[in-house]
Amino acid sequence: MSMTYSDLQLEVSRRATRNQGGDQYTDAIKNVINSSLFRICREALWRQLRRKDVIRTATSYTTGSGSATATTSSTTVTVAGATFLTDDVQIDRRVKVSGDSRYFYIRQVTGETSFVMDYSYEAATTTAATYEILPQSEYNLPIQCGHRMFMYHEDYGYPLKMNYMVDQDFFMRYRAGRHLTEKNVPTVYRMWGENMAIKDVLTPTSMSVFSSDANDTTNDITIFGIADGYPESETIRVNGASVVTGTTTFSSVDRIVKNSSTNGRVSVTASGNTSTVYAVLPKGDITSGIQYKKIQIYPLPTRAFDLHIQYYKEPYRLVNDNDIHELGQEFDEAIILLSVAKITAETHQTEAAGFLALYADELKSLKKTNVDKIDHFPTLRSPYGNNNAFMPGVVDYNQFGSYYGRSSRY
């Protein structure tokens, strides 16, 4: 069984041969153990950190089409019979409204039956317009998903690995007549961003917080985002399971942190609406919150299906004395040796070098039995390369295994 966080602290302190005590020394040991854990996790594709998950794509939304009200010179569209909030329609999706030749972006979802576009509708006022909200292109990767990952889907009837594309290539494609509004089977993706919000704010709103544990009554939650076009932050005190609402109206949220350990999970929602969750802070002392990496896929999916994600997760920080790291007991010694090397390096360079050599030897041994050797893995490349070229109707056939399938599909 792996050593607990408390056990690791005692062993690092013993080997560092420092007869020191007090919170300052204890905190230093805690920090160096966590930094060593993170460093070791970056050293190789450890089998213990491999995970898989799925993302369900969202296709076109047309509920109530034919009964949409669009007004000349107005950005607001109302659709009788639509249920935008219930169906989780997100902002920044493209929308086409009959009568106007342009594609718009949804900037706000103001209710179950209404949304606000980025530009005004320029055709004649109508109460019977047809509309289509195009398929969703942006998605969250799984929680703690590291940068080492790949995606595939089976919408063709076989596993098709999607190609990672750098931003320059992603947008250079459209100079050849391709458009972000193209709908087909997705074949490529790009990294889109990263923040602590599960989803964007649908319409400017104040934020509410509450905990899953009634005993959380002294914790402060600080929300960072944009209000009235300017960077803003607000701190809200948790009151157990009771909903507490702030006074700042945020149009977007980037970061949410808490100032101390909590017994339960803290949810951050739209004002008084506990079903519209923008962020969740885990229980314990994970004060920095959870980061959500974003991706954008292309072309837009013509139907809903699963994107399969295989990735290597980023480890959680050890916090409580009884916490156990995720790598397993074989890695205890490596964590201890690297931690001791870092501490002793402050005063004894020669001694630190000895521990570092022991760590390198231990790491070499671990790689012989714990490194994952997957059969296909994407690599980054230079912008404007030709390896990811694609055309409508022609799909790259990069798949699992050595000789699986033809090189292309027409």
| CA atoms of 390 and 173, how far apart (whole Å) | 9
Contact between residue 64 and residue 94 where contact means Cβ atoms under 8 Å apart: no
Angle at 206 between CA 203 and CA 209, to 5 degrees: 120
Number of residues in the chain: 410
Q: What is the pLDDT, as a whole number, of residue 374?
A: 58
| CA atoms of 136 and 116, how far apart (whole Å) | 17
Contact between residue 118 and residue 105 where contact means Cβ atoms under 8 Å apart: yes
Give the CA distances from residue 89 to residues 39, 58, 132, 294, 307, in Å, rounded to whole numbers and listed in that order: 39, 9, 12, 17, 19
Neighbour order of strands in the sheet with 252-258: 230-237, 220-227, 252-258
Q: What is the pLDDT, as a whole number, of residue 195?
A: 86
Contact between residue 133 and residue 95 where contact means Cβ atoms under 8 Å apart: yes
* pLDDT tens track, the chain, 410 positions: 789 999 999 999 988 876 565 566 788 899 999 999 999 999 999 999 999 999 999 999 999 999 999 999 999 999 999 999 999 999 999 999 999 999 999 999 999 999 999 999 999 999 999 999 999 999 999 988 887 888 999 998 888 989 888 877 777 665 545 678 889 999 999 888 888 888 889 999 999 999 999 999 999 999 999 999 999 999 999 999 999 999 999 999 999 999 988 999 999 999 978 888 999 998 877 666 788 889 999 999 999 999 999 999 988 888 888 999 999 999 999 999 999 999 998 888 888 999 999 999 999 999 999 987 655 444 444 444 444 444 444 444 444 444 334 444 43
- Residue matched to tokens 């101390």: 260
Listed in sequence order, the residues at least 6 apart from 7 whose beta carbon sits closer than 8 Å to its beta carbon are none
Q: What is the pLDDT, as a whole number, of residue 399?
A: 40
Q: What is the pLDDT, as a whole number, of residue 177?
A: 53
- E strand or H helix at 10, and its extent? helix 5-15
Secondary structure class of 211 (helix, strand, coil): strand
| CA atoms of 110 and 3, how far apart (whole Å) | 51
Listed in sequence order, the residues at least 6 apart from 160 whose beta carbon sits closer than 8 Å to its beta carbon are 152, 153, 154, 185, 187, 395, 397, 398, 399
| CA atoms of 167 and 294, how far apart (whole Å) | 13
Digit-coded pLDDT (tens) for 139-178: 999 988 887 888 999 998 888 989 888 877 777 665 545 6
Residue 25's Cβ-side half-sphere holds a number of Cα atoms within 13 Å equal to 14
Give the CA distances from residue 193 to residues 172, 292, 356, in Å, rounded to whole numbers and listed in that order: 19, 8, 36
